[in-house]
Amino acid sequence: MQRSISSAKSVYRNILQQHEPPTASIGRQLPCDVFINHRGIDTKKNIVGLLYDHLIRVNIRPFLDSKNMKPGDKLSEKIDNAITECKVGIVVFSPRYCQSYFCLDELARITEAKKKVMPVFCDVKPSKLIVKDHRKYSKLELDRFKWALEEAKCTVGLAFNSSSG
């Protein structure tokens, strides 16, 4: 696991070194380097919190909804901007990830924006991630979500077991 984390760190650094860090205007939050997509109820208090803190320590600017947004922010606008500005999307998959419209929509946006996707499979195997049609999505949304999920599942990722750390 430690070797996987070290490998992921070097990948992040290589990607980030290829881009000049944009300068922000006064009063505007700096763009993020990494967008963290996750199901908060499953992962925010364990792996995602640790990941966010670690990225900050190594001078990588992550976007995490609970850390980068404040009351009054327009949810869709803020997330769209963060996805547009980021270089990498870290997608933390959990057993109930595919039950969230917002998670699937963000994943589709990341994929459609052609951002590098780095999946983390937290307590779930890629083969168990399935978008089910409960007639709550339009055909277009369902197709977007399934396509983005398949793209991410076919990308080499990291496995994380929350019971063993």
Query: Any idea which residues carry the catalytic annotation?
Result: 106
Whole-number Cα distances in Å, 3 to 9, 82, 159: 10, 29, 12
Residue type, 57: R
Q: How many CB atoms lie within 10 A of CB 91?
A: 26
Cβ neighbours of residue 111 closer than 8 Å, sequence gap 6 or more: 117, 147, 148, 151, 152
Residue 97: name the closest of 58, 124, 64, 116 by CA. Answer: 124
